[in-house]
């Protein structure tokens, strides 16, 4: 079996070193022992989904909704979308060989070119944009703790973001094993941060209940209507008058807000990773999803309600570091420094993990002959080997497991991410990232519905009611189309990336065919 078959292109670097195990004992046993129970699956999904988004996305969400109540509903809708999507991905992950990501599903449904374009999008657009966002948020969180929330930050902020990006990429280039060992530490840090944030909000509420003459929070939460339309303060300082907006215009803003929320829910599509090691996936997988995702939804809605309690509402829409801004307003700069350190650790952990995944994606694509072979090497800078591996002919997957790093792939990701940092900002990149992901998520779930009719006899150990993928397809399809109309620049760039990718795919395929003749 080739390395490209062993490693799913969009798979998890820690768990997808080979094909996932069978879902019952009637099939030959796979690479991984099925040792996990429902509680383990619940914990794994929590750790995959909860990341830095809950600390950074509230501002972009609030800036695109008419009221705090509408903002909370967007967070709820995003969670429902993640929920239905996770259940659908779980069905595909237990039915189609090569599970680990949407690339094998799209290949099965529509042909290899769609699988390639999904991989191309993740390597050229989605993952670099993700790293750019995380690097920007890292820097903005530090500035926010210092009381600086500049709607139009100077170029120095971008330069510091580039330093963060380079540091993360370098760390992954030095030692892959060290990166993965930090995972549990970052998971504990993010959960502690959310817990402390919710405690702060509850403290303000209970203190006000006991003494109406003093409010430790932002004040607006008890003096204004949560669903009353208000003028939204944009990042550039201008105001948007919601009462003057048309329904079609409002839908555009809502779609942009939803992309911000979906960024925080990123990782729901990895539900099939859980299936790989559950003892009884048919029963335990839906139970894990149906407990983990609602828990995450409750945490996210509660955390955002806390932001509206701790901060004046006009401040929420202008910050890209909501958690740090809220803690600073509530407890002052001294404690905010500690909170900033915690949140920056969460962001660094997310960046480290995403950088690791991006490098592995590039290696897998090169091993499929979708990209130049030099990008499939490990332990090399260009053609110069700098590690102590067994040589260039060693299986890259084996080399990665030994601690070798896909340095050339990381360099490619770093360069593209740096471009996004220099030409974009967090909010533009959030929409860009969302359009890139959800176009292919929509196609994948739509393909799942098509397969229900085209291949009714396909073995589906886990099969949710068809309404579940139907809900996802309808909402994600509308959000993608309306979001593209509302953000034509980002959509145009993505379309250009896909066109270049398609040309590259067919041209490379023809060159390889001629070489083999």
**DSSP string for 175-205:** -HHHHHHTHHHHHHHHHHHHHHHHHHHHHHH
At residue 346 the predicted structure's pLDDT band, cuts being 50, 70 and 90, is: confident
Q: Give 380's strand partners.
A: 385
At residue 2 the predicted structure's pLDDT band, cuts being 50, 70 and 90, is: very low
Q: What integer pLDDT is reported at residue 259 of this predicted model?
A: 93
| DSSP three-state, residue 36 | strand
Mean pLDDT to the nearest integer, 71-100: 88
The pLDDT of residue 86 is above 70: yes
More reliable by pLDDT, 270 or 505: 505
Tell me, what DSSP letter sits at residue 123? I
Instruction: State how far the Cα of 494 lies from the Cα of 500, in Å rounded to an integer.
Output: 10
Mean pLDDT to the nearest integer, 56-77: 94
Give the lowest-confidence range in 34-38, 217-221, 311-315, 500-504: 34-38
Residues near 139 by Cβ (< 8 Å), separated by ≥ 6?
157, 160, 161, 164
Cβ distance 62 to 317 under 8 Å? Answer: yes
Mean predicted lDDT score pLDDT of the chain: 82
The pLDDT of residue 151 is above 80: no
Whether the pTM exceeds 0.85: the reply is no
More reliable by pLDDT, 243 or 498: 498
Instruction: State how far the Cα of 131 lies from the Cα of 11, in Å rounded to an integer.
Output: 17
The pLDDT of residue 102 is above 90: no
Q: What integer pLDDT is reported at residue 84 of this predicted model?
A: 95
Q: What integer pLDDT is reported at residue 14 of this predicted model?
A: 37
Q: How far from each other are the two terminal CA atoms of the chain, in whole angstroms?
A: 23
As a 3-state breakdown, the chain gives helix, strand, coil percent values, each rounded to 5, of: 70, 0, 25
| Percent share of the chain, pLDDT over 90 | 40
Mean pLDDT to the nearest integer, 183-187: 60
Backbone φ, ψ for residue 371 (5° rounding): -130, 160
| DSSP three-state, residue 233 | strand
Burial class (CB within 10 angstroms; exposed 0-12, middle 13-18, buried 19+) of 154: exposed
| DSSP three-state, residue 240 | strand
Instruction: State how far the Cα of 437 lies from the Cα of 416, in Å rounded to an integer.
Output: 17
More reliable by pLDDT, 50 or 73: 73
At residue 181 the predicted structure's pLDDT band, cuts being 50, 70 and 90, is: low
Nearest Cα residue to 82 out of 448, 441, 447? 441
Instruction: State how far the Cα of 164 lies from the Cα of 401, in Å rounded to an integer.
Output: 26
Q: What integer pLDDT is reported at residue 34 of this predicted model?
A: 60
Q: Does domain 3-516 have CATH number 2.170.190.11?
A: no
Enumerate the H helices of 368-406 as residue ranges: 396-401
């Amino acid at each position: 079996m080739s390395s490209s078959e062993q490693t799913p292109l969009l798979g998890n670097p820690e768990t997808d070193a080979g094909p996932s195990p069978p879902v019952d004992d009637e099939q030959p046993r796979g690479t991984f022992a099925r040792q996990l129970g429902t509680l383990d699956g619940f914990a794994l999904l929590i750790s995959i989904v909860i990341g830095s988004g809950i600390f950074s996305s509230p501002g972009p969400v609030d800036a695109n909704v008419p009221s705090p109540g509408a903002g909370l509903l967007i967070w709820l809708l995003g969670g429902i979308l993640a929920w239905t999507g996770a259940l659908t991905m779980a069905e595909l992950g237990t039915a189609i060989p090569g599970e680990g990501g949407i690339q094998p599903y799209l290949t099965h449904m529509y042909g290899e070119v769609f699988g390639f374009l999904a991989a191309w999008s993740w390597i050229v657009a989605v993952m670099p944009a993700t790293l750019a966002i995380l690097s920007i948020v890292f820097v903005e969180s530090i500035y926010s703790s210092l009381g600086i929330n500049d709607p139009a930050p100077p170029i120095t902020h971008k330069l510091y973001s580039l330093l963060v990006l380079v540091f993360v990429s370098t760390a992954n280039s030095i030692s892959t094993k060290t990166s993965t060992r930090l995972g549990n530490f970052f998971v504990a840090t993010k959960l502690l941060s959310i817990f402390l944030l919710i405690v702060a909000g509850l403290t303000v509420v209970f203190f006000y209940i006991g003494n109406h003459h003093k409010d430790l929070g932002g004040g607006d939460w008890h003096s204004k209507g949560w669903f009353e339309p208000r003028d939204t303060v944009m990042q550039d300082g201008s105001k948007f008058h919601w009462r003057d907006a048309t329904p079609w215009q409002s839908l555009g803003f809502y779609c942009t807000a939803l992309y911000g929320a979906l960024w925080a829910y990123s990782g729901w599509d990895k539900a099939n990773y859980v299936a790989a090691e559950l003892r009884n996936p048919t029963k335990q997988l839906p139970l894990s999803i149906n407990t983990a995702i609602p828990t995450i939804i409750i945490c996210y809605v509660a955390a955002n309600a806390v932001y509206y309690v701790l901060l004046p509402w006009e401040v929420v829409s202008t910050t890209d570091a909501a958690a740090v801004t809220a803690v600073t307003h509530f407890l002052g700069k001294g404690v905010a420094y500690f909170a900033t350190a915690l949140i920056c650790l969460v962001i660094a952990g997310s960046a480290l993990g995403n950088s690791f995944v991006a490098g592995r994606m590039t290696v897998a694509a090169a091993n499929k002959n979708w990209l130049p072979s030099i990008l499939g090497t490990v332990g090399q800078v260009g053609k110069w080997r700098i590690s102590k591996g067994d040589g260039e002919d060693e299986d890259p997957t084996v080399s990665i497991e030994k601690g070798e790093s896909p340095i050339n792939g990381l360099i490619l990701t770093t360069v593209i991410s740096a471009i996004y940092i220099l030409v974009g900002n967090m909010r533009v990149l959030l929409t860009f990232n969302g359009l890139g992901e959800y176009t292919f998520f929509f196609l994948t779930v739509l393909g799942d519905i098509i397969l229900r009719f085209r291949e009714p006899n396909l073995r589906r150990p886990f099969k949710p009611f068809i309404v579940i993928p139907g809900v996802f397809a309808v909402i994600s399809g509308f959000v993608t189309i309306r979001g593209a109309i509302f953000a034509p620049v980002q959509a145009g760039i993505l379309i250009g990336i896909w066109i270049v990718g398609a040309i590259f795919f067919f041209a490379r395929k023809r060159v390889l065919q001629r070489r083999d003749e």
